[in-house]
Structure 1
């Protein structure tokens, strides 16, 4: 393997994004930072670099362990990075919070009735 690869290719190969286009868009919009700096999609990433990644649903802080240009299996992708302990703790707390959050509209089917509207207003949602 090479010692440096484009960051958008690496993000795609490490399976943080479904497509390379999505990875490129995320880097362009500033959702991916290399060693704390905003970068461009063509920027090279090498082993030892720290990436802060926000893929829309989850925020990651990872250290690049290896580089790859081609997308492999999920088990291979997991060997490309090591997640920091702070990142793991943050993800676990957000996952725990999501368990207890219920979408208010999940209980309602269609348009709320007058009674449903009063219940919604009463609970403050």
Structure 2
């Protein structure tokens, strides 16, 4: 843990509080411009201080966190959650696709039943080009 008034590299902090799985992923995200500190794109060696706002774009989603505690070493999830305040927008979840079901004991489906099941399965798929 860093002492008060100290600073930590942004890639090390992102890795240590488990926002990304590896330090090299955090380093690559910084180099690609997916990490912003207080609105500015930063390099991996940028020094992070408490109360900085960190925005990380990953997997089509933006994480917005405010640094509350600096951390140099990777810690467990409960401790990592205390190191930042998460202001990220909620994740939009896709509704579960319809799954065709048959009554138990109804026997083997007929050709007509199989075609109906195939139509139901194909309804959720995009049209092939």
* Common fold: TM-score over 0.5: yes
Are the aligned partners of 1:16 and 1:55 in contact in 2 as well (CA < 8 Å)?
no
Gaps of at least 5 residues in structure 2 are 101-114
Structure (1 or 2) with the larger CA radius of gyration: 2
TM-score (norm 2): 0.70
What is aligned with 2:31? 28
Q: What is the Cα deviation at residue 58 of structure 1?
A: 3.9
1:52-99 residue CA offsets vs partner (Å, 9 max, x unmatched): 112326421110001010011111111110012xx2xx224x1xx32x
What is aligned with 1:78? 81
Aligned length: 107
TM-score (norm 1): 0.72
Residue 43 in structure 1 maps to residue 46 in structure 2: yes
Shift in alpha-carbon separation, 1:77–1:123, aligned structure 2, 3 A: closer
What is aligned with 1:53? 56
Alignment RMSD (CA, Å): 2.6
- After TM superposition, the structure 1 = structure 2 runs for residues 64-103 of structure 1, keeping only pairs within 5 Å, are 64-84=67-87, 87=88, 90-92=89-91, 94=92, 97-98=93-94, 100=95, 102=97
CA distance in 2, matches of 1:55, 1:81: 18
Are the aligned partners of 1:34 and 1:50 in contact in 2 as well (CA < 8 Å)?
yes
Gaps of at least 5 residues in structure 1 are 108-114
CA distance in 1, matches of 2:96, 2:61: 16
1:78-125 residue CA offsets vs partner (Å, 9 max, x unmatched): 1110012xx2xx224x1xx32x164xxx99xxxxxxx769x85x7772
